[in-house]
């Protein structure tokens, strides 16, 4: 333990450095970046944007942000999401689109359980329609969409939220797929970003949820044909979202029969 003394404005400070900084903050966050990884291998337009897959782009920016990052994809055994991998994952990010139906129910149940136990989940763009997101939300997660490359402007509506640290009052994505309301999700516990689209729609683009002991962040960009995941603001929001969704260091949840009251009962 290191301490030091100093003075500001006639006040004395004693500093004891960070000895109770949380486990998550003091240690390295372990992030698993999951990607369906199909469009990139079948559609040259997508391959041109993400030659190593969307997961590679996301993983690279999260590594640069200081996290310990691995990737997993649909066509790996168990989609790369074995019990062992999930046990070592603090936060999972999820991108899927054309093959939601191919994700096995068993893996979905496993991820669901881990989220309720505390693993963070960052759901990206078309992941809104993934089995895992729909299961956690309990709604259809449906929306309106259009793919003509219009401009998106994301406005910050929770300016004190850690997910928008480093972000200005808004940022723009030059070309994106449009997602429009009504977006059939539960009202977010914290609504952080709202999108304006050139064609006339709005969208709740940054949505925070607590479920069980876990935290979920939905973030709307980016479509597979646009380089949104190379844009610094998008990268920063995802990196912030990962940190926000990190597990806290607590005992697991306890449920069930408690035959003995904590308090002595005077009368029944």
Calpha distance 194→204 (Å, rounded): 5
Which residue number, 42 or 268, has a Cβ lying nearer to a copy of itself? 268
Residue 45 binds a copy of itself (CB under 8 A): no
Instruction: Using only the alpha carbons of the chain, give its radius of gyration.
Output: 21
Distance between CA 17 and CA 83 in Å, rounded? 36
User: Of the candidates 103, 123, 156, 237, which one interacts with a copy of itself according to CB under 8 A?
Assistant: 156
Show the site string, 157-196: x = touches a copy of itself by CB under 8 A, - = not: xxxxxx-xxxxxx-----x--x-xxxxx-xx-xxx--xxx
Give the Cα separation of 8 and 10 in Å (integer).
5
CA–CA separation, 100 and 96 (whole Å): 6
Q: Is 261 in the site for a copy of itself (CB under 8 A)?
A: yes
Asked if 263 is part of the footprint of a copy of itself (rule: CB under 8 A), the reply reads yes
Nearest to 35 by CA among 54, 49, 52: 54
Say whether residue 135 binds a copy of itself (CB under 8 A): yes
Q: What are phi and psi of 56, to 5 degrees?
A: -65, -40
Strands 144-156 and 170-180: antiparallel
When the beta carbons of 25 and 98 are compared against a copy of itself, the nearer one is 25
22 vs 104 by CB, closer to a copy of itself: 22
Q: Among residues 42, 44, 105, 264, which is the contact residue for a copy of itself, using CB under 8 A? A: 264
Q: Which of 43, 65, 99, 227 binds a copy of itself (CB under 8 A)?
A: 65
Our finding on whether 25 is near a copy of itself (CB under 8 A) is: yes
Burial of 47 (0-12, 13-18, 19+ CB in 10 A): middle
Min separation Cβ 171 and a copy of itself, Å: 12
- CA–CA dist 267, 89 (Å, integer): 49
Please report whether residue 77 would count as binding a copy of itself according to CB under 8 A: no
Interaction of residue 56 with a copy of itself, rule CB under 8 A: no
- Return the number of the residue (44 or 257) whose C-beta is nearest a copy of itself: 257
Contact (CB, 8 A) for 184 and 139? yes
Backbone angles phi, psi at 138, to 5 degrees: 85, 5
Give residues with Cβ within 8 angstroms of 244, minimum separation 6. 120, 161, 162, 163, 208, 215, 217
Q: Which is nearer to a copy of itself, 43 or 198 (CB)?
A: 198
Using CB under 8 A as the binding rule, the residues of this chain from 101 to 130 that contact a copy of itself are: 116, 118
Tell whether residue 75 is a contact of a copy of itself (CB under 8 A): no
Find the binder of a copy of itself among 124, 137, 207, 238 (CB under 8 A).
137
With CB under 8 A as the contact rule, the residue among 47, 78, 198, 230 that binds a copy of itself is 198
Q: How far does Cα 214 stand from its chain's mean position?
A: 11
259 binds a copy of itself, rule: CB under 8 A: yes
């Amino acid at each position: 333990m290191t301490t030091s003394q100093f003075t500001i404005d006639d006040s004395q400070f004693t500093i004891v450095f960070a000895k109770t900084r949380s486990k998550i903050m003091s240690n390295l966050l372990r992030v698993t970046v999951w990607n369906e990884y199909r469009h990139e291998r079948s559609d040259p337009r997508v391959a041109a944007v993400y030659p190593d897959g969307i997961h590679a782009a996301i993983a690279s920016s999260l590594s640069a942000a200081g996290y310990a990052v691995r990737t997993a994809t649909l066509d790996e055994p168990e989609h790369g999401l074995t019990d062992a991998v999930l046990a070592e994952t603090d936060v999972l990010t999820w991108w899927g689109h054309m093959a939601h139906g191919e994700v096995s129910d068993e893996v979905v149940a496993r991820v669901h359980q881990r989220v309720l136990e505390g693993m963070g989940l960052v759901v990206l763009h078309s992941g809104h329609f993934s089995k895992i997101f729909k299961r956690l939300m309990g709604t259809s997660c449906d929306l309106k969409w259009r793919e003509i490359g219009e401009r998106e402007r994301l406005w910050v509506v929770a300016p004190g939220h850690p997910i928008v640290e480093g972000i200005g009052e808004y940022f723009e994505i030059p070309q994106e797929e449009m997602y429009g309301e009504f977006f059939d999700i539960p009202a977010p516990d914290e609504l952080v970003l709202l999108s304006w689209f050139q064609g006339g729609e709005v969208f709740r683009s940054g949505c925070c949820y607590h479920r069980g002991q876990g935290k979920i962040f939905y973030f709307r960009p980016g479509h597979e044909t646009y380089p949104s995941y190379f844009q610094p603001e998008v990268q920063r929001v995802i990196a912030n979202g990962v940190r926000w969704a990190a597990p806290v260091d607590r005992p697991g949840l306890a449920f069930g029969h408690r035959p003995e009251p904590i308090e002595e009962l005077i009368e029944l």
